[in-house]
């Protein structure tokens, strides 16, 4: 079979390009652990609100100091509606939906992921200080255009690690630290002698 010289050039050229593209994808996924943000982890959409991964929603600090944002999407809002995160520090997002497919997008950043019921989308990114708008970029129903949330990114030194996120874990080897916000102040004019019930009140 005779193949025209130009035909040959095109075949070899496109073949080489495909080979390069596939090697780059293979290298990034294997060596750099770069994966699509969706379908990492599964979850029952009916139990999301009771699941410890999403109850409560919002910002948490793991025992290793890493910052995590746990977000739930539903028609037609993101929970929580407002978050504050530290600038220049990697933040890992865990996002799921309790109803239909939504699209989580933090405008003017590279934070973007499809949010599919039954799956937990996950990605890690860092932010510059500023106020950001979070929108839904996947049509999800009549209220799609009203589905948004706010993100505030402040310098790390000004950032207050949230105390929500379950039981505070004492630092390794150290003494337990009181929760942020200081010691509770007894009510003015109240009894000074605490009753046994009051002393057990958490």
Q: Where on the chain is the footprint of ligand CUA (CB under 6 A)?
A: 76, 102, 136, 138-140, 144, 147
Q: Of 67, 71, 159, 149, whose CA–CA distance to 107 is shortest?
A: 149
Tell me the closest approach of the beta carbon of residue 145 to ligand CUA, in angstroms: 8
Q: Is 78 exposed, middle or buried (0-12, 13-18, 19+ CB in 10 A)?
A: buried
Tell me the closest approach of the beta carbon of residue 115 to ligand CUA, in angstroms: 8
Tell me the closest approach of the beta carbon of residue 138 to ligand CUA, in angstroms: 5
Q: Is 109 exposed, middle or buried (0-12, 13-18, 19+ CB in 10 A)?
A: middle
The SS3 call for residue 1 is coil
Q: Between residues 91 and 115, which has the closer beta carbon with respect to ligand CUA?
A: 115
Q: Between residues 142 and 157, which has the closer beta carbon with respect to ligand CUA?
A: 142
Tell me the closest approach of the beta carbon of residue 70 to ligand CUA, in angstroms: 17
Q: Between residues 70 and 138, which has the closer beta carbon with respect to ligand CUA?
A: 138
Separation CA 70–CA 68 (nearest Å):
6
Tell me the closest approach of the beta carbon of residue 74 to ligand CUA, in angstroms: 8
Phi and psi of 113, rounded to 5°?
Answer: -160, 145
Q: Between residues 45 and 86, which has the closer beta carbon with respect to ligand CUA?
A: 45
Q: Between residues 67 and 74, which has the closer beta carbon with respect to ligand CUA?
A: 74
Separation CA 127–CA 10 (nearest Å):
43
């Amino acid at each position: 079979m005779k193949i025209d010289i130009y035909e040959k050039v095109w075949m070899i050229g496109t073949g080489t390009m495909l080979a390069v593209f596939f090697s780059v994808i293979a290298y990034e996924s294997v060596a750099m652990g770069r994966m699509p943000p969706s379908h990492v982890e599964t979850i029952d959409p009916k139990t999301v609100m009771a699941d410890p991964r999403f109850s409560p929603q919002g910002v948490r600090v793991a025992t290793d100091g890493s910052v995590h944002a746990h977000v739930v999407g539903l028609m037609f809002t993101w929970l929580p509606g407002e978050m504050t995160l530290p600038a220049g520090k990697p933040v890992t997002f865990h996002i799921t939906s309790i109803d239909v497919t939504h699209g989580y997008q933090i405008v003017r950043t590279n934070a973007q992921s499809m949010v599919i019921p039954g799956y937990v989308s996950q990605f890690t990114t860092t932010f510059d200080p500023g106020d950001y708008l979070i929108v839904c970029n996947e049509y999800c129903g009549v209220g799609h255009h009203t589905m948004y949330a706010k993100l505030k990114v402040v310098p790390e030194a000004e950032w207050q690690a949230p105390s929500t996120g379950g039981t505070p874990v004492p630092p390794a080897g150290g003494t337990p630290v009181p929760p942020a916000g200081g010691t509770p102040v007894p009510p003015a004019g109240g009894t000074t002698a605490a009753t046994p019930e009051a002393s057990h009140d958490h």
